[in-house]
Structure 1
Amino acid sequence: MNVRRISCVFVIASWITFSLYYYDTICAVIKPRIEIVISANKDLSFEEILTYNGTEDYLIKTPGCYIPNYGKTLKFREAKIIKHFCGTRAVFIEKISEEYLFINIDETINEYSKGNDYNCCYQFVTPEVVEGITDQRKIRYSSCVPFKNQTKIELLEEMIVVKCATKLKVVYEDAYIFVKKLKTKKYDDLNQETPWNVLILGMDTMSRARLISSMPKTAQFLRNHHWLDFRAYQKVGYNTFPNVMALLTGRNLSQVHAECHKSLDQCNDIMLWSYFKKAGYYTASGEDFLRLPDTFTRYDGFKNAPTDHYMRPFFLTGENSIGNLVCTKKRPSANHLLDYALDFTNTYKNDKFFGMFWFNSFSHNLNNVPELIDSDLAKFFENFHTNGILNNTFILFLSDHGLRYGEMRVPYESYYEERLPMLYLWVPYDFRRKYEMFKNLLVNQSRLVTPYDIYVTLLSILEIGNNTEQNSIACPNCISIINELSPNRTCSDAHVHEKWCSCHPLTKATNHVATKNAIDAAIHDLDDIIKKIETTKCMQCANLELNKLLRAHTYNTLNATIFVLAFKMTPGDVSYEASVEQRGDNFTVLDTTQTISVYNTRGNCVLNPVHRAYCICVKLC
């Protein structure tokens, strides 16, 4: 008993000693630099920068950008859980080496066969080859090879489909994907002292506030393990495509359209993963929920694999919506993606790798429920704390934007929610020990950051030690967040359009005359859009009239007042949000007015799907 007490006291004393030493060491290294920040911003102390705890009235508070802590008052309402079950897996395939798999048939198979005799076989799945050219948008199956329980097979291809059938019908089908390690030697044209791996995990439609509210286990894990939390990660475009492409290419939407208008294959050379591949890295990418039009299905997707390993063909084996889930056979699509991402990092942890994996299926639509993957995602990150890759791997857990439509867009706080996706960053242990630049990353948690900055940052990771500067075409003055960002930085400095800028508090509009003029300008802008919409024969878009003003707020810029308005139109009860700039007696709509309603099904007569949000179809003949 005494030995136990002594051991306990020793452990507690050691922990306290280590904690005090760690804090003093961090303070000694970082505090001189932080004091410069404090001198520029008297409202923030050194302790506040390091210990922001979420109870403050702001997310960041700098001379250039003030963002209120909207999550303190915004109450998230997620969809009800209807059904969260893709099926019971009865055939398990385990990767036992880089060359072999082991197949085990569980007794659960009898529930599928209902006691009847059955036979099982497996097929490898590969991209289709048409006239000698591989097309990643289509798949083909090998012949089905019979197998019994506890069978060892060779890993010939990454994707496998298993079928079990009685004499009458197929009773069981499942799909699996494993990383098949490339044997070719990678060319390395960089003379790096330490090659830093990069893993990007993206979750669609996930603000920082939504993560904390709807995925508490994941959020708590990230806090407990001291991932960096960039509270002012600011989107630069309306939906997924411009924000993801800004991250991957450093270009804005018009620049992307100019280079990628024929196909995504045409512009793959400007994607981040291509730079890493040229530098000798093994690369991988994947995205689930393929029927969404937001990300890489644009321009008909990639015909050629953009990276060494590419998951799209796997999801072509069949994604189905079941309740709140999107399933690929017996597993949610996102779980397949997480398993593959983990397999990829384990396979190449002794090499150099860059992976980007994006999942939509637990958060994109209003009937998706993030809570359902919360435990699995926390376990996914926990694996990295045991498999050794955290010493030399940057891991980014981020999103493209927050909730863009639905009932959650009515409260005024949703203005910030929609514009502020999450960004959490794991910085490698070795990097923290080796470079004083780590202190800049700590400071930048309370700075305005955009996808353009992350693009430059990831390129700079390739060049650490080479003193080569990188930049973004869309934002030439954006810098890597490994360098300290100025506390005076504004949306204009970061090339964020005023329409999307979050760097200001909103106050309720009190000037009723000016508010009415702003609403009139927004409605007039909608009328102009509607008049130009092309529809199918015998159809036209109805003229819309104001039904109800949902909210009206303002903020001031240097030379203007900006009105942020949400209003409902009739017929159709479609709601919109508009930003209207007032300069003197002139009222001008900023960018394009966007819908905040659930997807408009009454606009099916439009020829261009982009116009669906603005059209209530009326039959003419």
Structure 2
Amino acid sequence: MYLATEAPSCKKLLALTILLAAAVLVCVYRENPFNGFYYEDEFLEFVNITFNYTEFLVWSPECSIQNLDPFNEQAMKYSHKEKYIPCSQHKLLSYVNITGINATLIIDKKVSHSYTKENITCCYSYVSRSGSKKKPDEGIKFGTCKTFKDSLNLTQDTVRVTCHSKKHKKIYENVHEVIRIKKEFNASKLQPNSERVPSILFIGIDSISRLNLIRAMPKSYEFLSNDSTWFPLLGYNKIGENTFPNLMAILTGYNSTEAYNICDPKKIGPLDTCRFIWKEYKKFGYITGYGEDETSINTFNYRKKGFTKKPVDYYFKPYMEASESIGTVKRDTLSYCAGPETSAERILNLAKRFAITYKDYKHFGFFWMNTFSHNNLNTPSRMDEKIQKFLKDITEAKILDNSIVIFLSDHGIRFGDIRHTFSGWYEERLPYIFFSFPERFKKRFPKEIANFRTNANRLTTPYDVYMTLQHILTLSRFNYTMKSITSCPHCKSLFSEIELSRSCERAGIAPHWCTCSGFSDLNRKDDIVLAAANFLVKEIQSNVAKMGGSQKCANYRLGKVLVSSISDKFSYKNDTYLLISIETVPKAVFESTIHLKKDAKNNTNFVIDSSISRLDSYFQHAKCVSEEMLKMYCYCK
């Protein structure tokens, strides 16, 4: 059983116990409305100063997150490096040159001989968004393909270029996106950023833990670690199952339930009225942009209706749809190549050009990549040098001089063999996140930056990032009032010191996602384990029925218990939890954190406080249903 293999040694636990005992003798307790008493601030500061963070990333009486070795035996069993795979053996035949508001599409005659020895003819067609009433955020249309010679002045921003040889054989096709200052932005919209308020640039990669960033992308990690401008949050804990809840927490402050109730993405329209933070920035003159690859699993479109109107000034979904339409090469079932370029590099280029174009103006950009990381633990290693180069490029272009840049992931890998280990359990919940602040900002707000540094070893969440984005508006002296987070009333800006004694409950993290508690192995054949395992199977089956899947999905029965462990301590409460992983018949792997509750007669009842995770890849086995959550539970008959 995996969890105990990474537990601290008895000697280390004894040392911690002695430290606590000594401190308790001199500390004064104060009343805690949740559990009687809690530690004085003086004691917590004493612990914070005394404790060495070599064993834990976060440590307090309420939360201890182990400082796990990225190259631990469990992880290395499944980790290996993969080489970058180019999408074309030739240099691109076309490119766009931008000068001010003018853009020119150019055919590079110097490389045409690598495609064909014959003369070539090229045509262009503009691309536009073209959704339907039922699917307003899906679909594009191409204009008539018009022949041009070596170059063309572009009047629209998304263009497809197609080239044929003399024998009418298609030899090249690509899609380009022009990012230039829009003519419709009048002088008031584009006032130079004389106050030097910071721009915001998010660069996200799906499904990469902090530890896997270190293993799979060592060059990128080394750049971040050796550059003093980048600040990590080592106790950054996800708050939801997949991308949608974790990004919605950052962008809106809503948890998954609130997001579906208030901004129901399954209906046409509600996402348009949702309180996305980029709307607040736009009110204060920021130019906004959003781009994401793999349109089939896009954050706001996968089993969702998306946006009826463009949610930002620069909405790059039509460009990515057009790029995928000219042909994709799948790797791990995802569109690694979109035409002659990798999908991820298209997003990186968009992010870089957007930030450079509006370097002297206030802007808010959110860019996200799925295609080289979502489905495989090791494929991020293919893009290590590309990500490192991107980070270097935006540094050399002085983007960091005026922008707060957030480089992050939403969670670690969620399925696969590594998820059957402690390292996999731990990594899924602890994604990486780094912030870079302009020197001007750091000098202007030294106390806030000092607090941020302190928070590097505190328990933090996506909710705190949302609060930080609001705090930036107030620090910039805009007329903005910060909104509280209903699902996490105690969450705060990362520029305010987060209490050392923070628990998962106070941070808005459900028990199933919490990494604060230690676990000890429990015999898989214990009566309570088997009873909990059978309870879990019934809960899964009940969920299938509630979501209308009984006719299409098979009935599960317990195959075997893969992992069983019991919590050492959760938060400041004395609650007990079982962490159980089971294999069912038909074969699927589920994991849940089950709350053990005593009733009036001292009988043990099982309660699932939050999610049930599916640890095996269910794509092939759930094609008979379309509901996102049902897919996770279903095994088609």
The question of a shared fold, defined as TM-score above 0.5 by the shorter chain, is answered with yes
1:420 to 430, 434, 453: 430
2:629 corresponds to:
610
Matching of residues 328-407 of structure 1 within 5 Å? 328-366=338-376, 369-407=379-417
What CA RMSD, in Å, does the superposition of the two structures yield over aligned residues? Answer: 3.0
| Structure 1 range deviating more: 386-395 or 195-204 | 386-395
Deviation at 1:576, TM superposition (A): 0.9
1:579 corresponds to:
593
Q: Is the 8 A contact 1:126 1:157 kept in 2?
A: no
Residue 40 of structure 1 pairs with residue 44 of structure 2: yes
1:487 is paired with a residue of what secondary structure? coil
2:501 corresponds to:
488
| Structure 2, unaligned runs of 5 or more | 1-39, 599-603
Deviation at 1:296, TM superposition (A): 4.1
Deviation at 1:250, TM superposition (A): 0.5
2:511 to 491, 495, 498: 498
1:174 corresponds to:
174
Q: Is the 8 A contact 1:457 1:479 kept in 2?
A: yes
| Structure 1 range deviating more: 368-377 or 242-251 | 368-377
2:582 corresponds to:
567
1:95 corresponds to:
97
C-alpha separation in 2, matches of 1:335 and 1:280: 29
1:236 corresponds to:
239
C-alpha separation in 2, matches of 1:303 and 1:359: 22
2:530 corresponds to:
516
Deviation at 1:536, TM superposition (A): 8.3
Structure-2-length-normalised TM-score: 0.83
Deviation at 1:528, TM superposition (A): 2.7
Change (3 A) 1:222 1:140: same
Q: Is the 8 A contact 2:81 2:378 kept in 1?
A: no
| Structure 1 range deviating more: 386-395 or 289-298 | 289-298
C-alpha separation in 2, matches of 1:71 and 1:102: 49
Query: Structure 1, residues 60-118: CA drift from partner, whole Å, max 9, x if none?
Result: 113332101234424153578598231133313142412132514255433433x2332
Residue 117 of structure 1 pairs with residue 95 of structure 2: no
Matching of residues 116-265 of structure 1 within 5 Å? 116-128=118-130, 137-149=138-150, 151=151, 153-166=152-165, 167-183=167-183, 184-185=185-186, 186=188, 193-226=195-228, 227-261=230-264, 262-263=267-268
1:42 is paired with a residue of what secondary structure? helix
1:84 corresponds to:
85
Change (3 A) 1:112 1:346: same
Q: Is the 8 A contact 1:38 1:44 kept in 2?
A: no
Q: Is the 8 A contact 2:272 2:308 kept in 1?
A: no
Deviation at 1:392, TM superposition (A): 2.3
Change (3 A) 1:335 1:258: same
- Paired amino acid for 2:255: N
1:31 corresponds to:
none
2:6 corresponds to:
none
1:525 corresponds to:
539
Query: Structure 1, residues 297-352: CA drift from partner, whole Å, max 9, x if none?
Result: 45322231110001100111142134466222111111011111111111111110
C-alpha separation in 2, matches of 1:285 and 1:248: 12
Change (3 A) 1:250 1:565: same
Q: Is the 8 A contact 1:196 1:462 kept in 2?
A: no
Structure-1-length-normalised TM-score: 0.85
Q: Is the 8 A contact 1:568 1:574 kept in 2?
A: yes
Q: Is the 8 A contact 2:564 2:578 kept in 1?
A: no
| Structure 1, unaligned runs of 5 or more | 1-35
| Structure 1 range deviating more: 36-45 or 509-518 | 36-45
| Structure 1 range deviating more: 412-421 or 464-473 | 464-473
Deviation at 1:501, TM superposition (A): 1.2
Q: Is the 8 A contact 2:124 2:161 kept in 1?
A: yes
1:250 is paired with a residue of what secondary structure? coil
The count of residues paired between Structure 1 and Structure 2 equals 570
C-alpha separation in 2, matches of 1:534 and 1:263: 22
Q: Is the 8 A contact 2:122 2:163 kept in 1?
A: yes
1:172 is paired with a residue of what secondary structure? strand
C-alpha separation in 2, matches of 1:417 and 1:374: 19
2:441 is paired with a residue of what secondary structure? helix
Q: Is the 8 A contact 1:215 1:371 kept in 2?
A: yes
Residue 556 of structure 1 pairs with residue 566 of structure 2: no
Q: What is the aligned-residue identity percentage? A: 28
1:67 corresponds to:
65
1:403 is paired with a residue of what secondary structure? coil
C-alpha separation in 2, matches of 1:197 and 1:294: 23
